Amino acid sequence: MADIFARKVLLQKGWADNARLRVAAGHIEAIETEATARKGDVTAGIVIPGLCNAHSHAFQRALAGRTEERSPAARDNFWSWRERMYELASRLDAEALGAIARQAYTEMLESGFTAVAEFHYLHRPASGEHGDAMFNAIADAANASGIRLTYVPVLYERAGFDAPRPEGQQAMFALDVDTFLAHHTMTRERSSDRITVGIGAHSLRAVGEPSLHRIAAAAGDGPLHLHIAEQQREVDECIATNKRRPVQWILENLDVDESWCLVHATHMSAAETEHLAATDAVVCLCPSTEANLGDGLFPLRDFLTYGGRIAIGSDSHVSINPFEELRWLEYGQRLASQTRNVASLEDVHVGRELFTRVLKGGAQAVGAPLAGLQPGAPADLVVLDDGDPMLVGHAEDTLLDALIFSGYRLPIQRVMVHGDWCVIDGEHVDKFNARAGFGAALQRIGASA
């Protein structure tokens, strides 16, 4: 395997010039700085670590752009969008799911994501039977694309706080907790170098307290993911049923720690924000989806001030671009506060601080022991074109600022995962096969109109 000679590389301690990265068995074996290029090296301009997409519903890639017309309802919101999502899910079989996920994962890699946490509750194909087919479809899609996958099987056992039985289209998501935990055990036994397994509960409204405790016990010290406080209606219903706000309730009733990844946590009180930050749990923020669905804005500056940890995800995949997620995470805060550089608490450069935070937070969200480019870490990296106008003339201090805030088209030349080049010359090596499969799947399930 060829070494990589980088004219500039972002390491744990900061930027370094003229570095050689030795890659063996899918990992970084050593990093030599102040080096010179050798014959056979892959020469790169700027090398940065790949980021983790810490929250994905891969099947929703097929819904992007298809819910932007006003509905007959008096007011469009998350709940009216959810009905359209249910309609799509009801048409999916394992073959279609695999093709859609393969396309989504291909796009993730081309945009600089090298890992994904798949928050998966489609355990039954459209035919209705339960089995391993949907998990196999996700795993095969990840293997075909080359992305590093953390499979997060998710329990969905009830329709709401006061509705013990899922009805109508929700029934296709439902499993009893024993069947769900058996599925979790089976998938853990099939882990590999590139596929690991976490566990999750859909939300407090969809999973009762006894099952939450069993899921937490099954997680051990592995990652545990949960949607929480995404919508004000969820908060109101939780207060009506549990006499507590969602984040308050979960902090009082479960041992939330650094193994937890709480997704969205949009609607928190000041006390919840402070207390959640103190647990060292990571919150996964999905700004493009949260904006698309009208969720609201996360209390970012307060959470970071209290020492909170964050990751990012593309969630419903209305956008697949980690740098756009970071840009809009910051821009939403600027619009709300009428100030600038809101997230720059520890570093005067907001782009560099956001990148550093979500690099660490993403690794935490999937239980990865090492984050970034260092000996012993997976060889998951992104090569940027240092001659691209977006980056030309930028010094080390502003390179990440430029990458996040200077435009939409990304100057990505190559992407490596586990020592393999998945993207070369800006295009995924399986791009055209993935695209063809995606188009055929949408035609077959009637989602291409």
- Give the residue among 214, 39, 200, 210 at the shortest CA–CA distance from 120: 200
Q: To which residue do tokens 């979790």 refer?
A: 184
For the chain, how many residues are written? 449
3-state secondary structure the chain: CCCEEEEEEEECCEEEEEEEEEEECCEEEEEECCCCCCCCCEEEEEEEECEEEEEECHHHHHHCCCCCCCCCCCCCCHHHHHHHHHHHHCCCCHHHHHHHHHHHHHHHHHHCEEEEEEEECCCCCCCCCCCCHHHHHHHHHHHHHCCEEEEEEEECCCCECCECCCCHHHHHHCCCHHHHHHHHHHHHCCCCCCEEECEEECCCCCCCHHHHHHHHHHHCCCCEEEEECCCHHHHHHHHHHHCCCHHHHHHHHCCCCCCEEEEECCCCCHHHHHHHHHCCCEEEECHHHHHHCCCCCCCHHHHHHCCCEEEECCECCCCCCHHHHHHHHHHHHHHHHCCCCCCCCCCCCHHHHHHHHHHHHHHHHCCCCCCCCCCCCECCEEEECCCCCCCCCCCHHHHHHHHHHCCCCCCEEEEEECCEEEEECCEECCHHHHHHHHHHHHHHHCCCC
Q: Catalytic residue positions? A: 264, 315
DSSP 379: -
273: left (phi over 0), alpha (psi -120 to 50) or beta: alpha
CA-CA distance, 367 to 167, in Å (whole number)? Answer: 34
